[in-house]
Amino acid sequence: MRTISVQNADGNQIVINAFPIDEVGANERADYFTKRSVKKESKLSALYLALSMCDLTTLEGADTPGRVQQMCAKARFPVPPEMIEPFLKKKNWGPIPTVAAVCVYPSMVPHAVKALEGSGIGIASVSTAFPSGQAPLQVKIDDTLFAVENGATEIDMVINRGAFLSGDYQQVFDEIVAIKKACGDTHLKVILETGELGSYDRVRLASEIAMEAGGDFIKTSTGKVTPAATLPVTLVMLQAIADFHQRTGKKIGMKPAGGIRTSKQAIQYLCMVNETLGPEWLTPNLFRFGASALVNDLLKQIFKEATGHYYYDKVFSID
């Protein structure tokens, strides 16, 4: 194991351990979760929980206020109540939960705020020159301040992968600290873009830097790079969170994003979180899915559990 050191705003050195990761072991351990099976009432609970942890997202150049409003309507009402409530009442099940948050570009935050007023659904905004992270720090700070001042309750920032891969860990640390300061009380998710980091060792180190710098969550990906979230890379990050919690007592959240499309995959992630971090992390406050496509499959599976048959996919709105 090697160590790196960065300097905080007070001029004190922070020593960060760069743990070597057993890649074969991580892959084998992650593969174990693909063989887990959850059925009956436990499956329904897992489907409800996973839905409540989803961040509905639209991050396209073609985004319009209308598109954001449509997505927010789905966030508030994943399916029209009249379609499912009779079946839920018959089985004495609770209502289908809303998603945890929507995620949009800063310019779309005001539209999301208006559409979600009074709903309690979070409004996340990407910032810091998403998805590349290639912009001057002041531009990144201004990007963040604009989103926060217009009503964002969560910020999803991207780290400077160029600086990280060049070994300039101080710059990466300083930028996260600066963005956290700009966030104020707004929660900060730090996107590592693991598909560009190249190894589990680097993923672990980037996770440690992000947590030491003040990130409230660490997040795998922007969804714009392949590979995005995978079970092994998420496992590496979860273990980093577990070790950080043991060392500091602080609970850091986790958000795998990109490539999670099915309920079966979501349940595998939930099992992994439960066994790595424990049931305390099985809450939207500490675990999220960045996977809009996942929402429709979760709804499809809930309908199957409630009615005994699958609904036509296009019954649900297409994002």
Known catalytic residue: 142? no
CB 157 within 8 A of CB 178: no
Residue 254: closest CA among 305, 292, 203: 203
Q: Is 219 a catalytic residue?
A: yes
Residue 300: active-site member: no
- Write down the catalytic residue from 140, 180, 189, 219: 219
Which of 174, 255, 297, 300 is labelled catalytic?
A: 255
Asked if 288 contacts 100 with a C-beta cutoff of 8 angstroms, the reply is: yes
Q: What is the DSSP string of 188-255?
A: EEEE--GGGT-SHHHHHHHHHHHHHTT-SEEE---SSSSS---HHHHHHHHHHHHHHHHHH----EEE
Beta strands in the chain (DSSP E): 2-7, 13-18, 55-57, 101-104, 122-127, 154-158, 187-191, 217-219, 253-255
Distances (CA, A) of 243 to 16, 116, 217: 12, 36, 15
Tokens of 8: 């905080």
Phi then psi for residue 270, to 5 deg, are: -65, -40
Residue in 55, 143, 156, 216 annotated catalytic:
156
Q: Please list the active-site residues.
A: 156, 219, 255
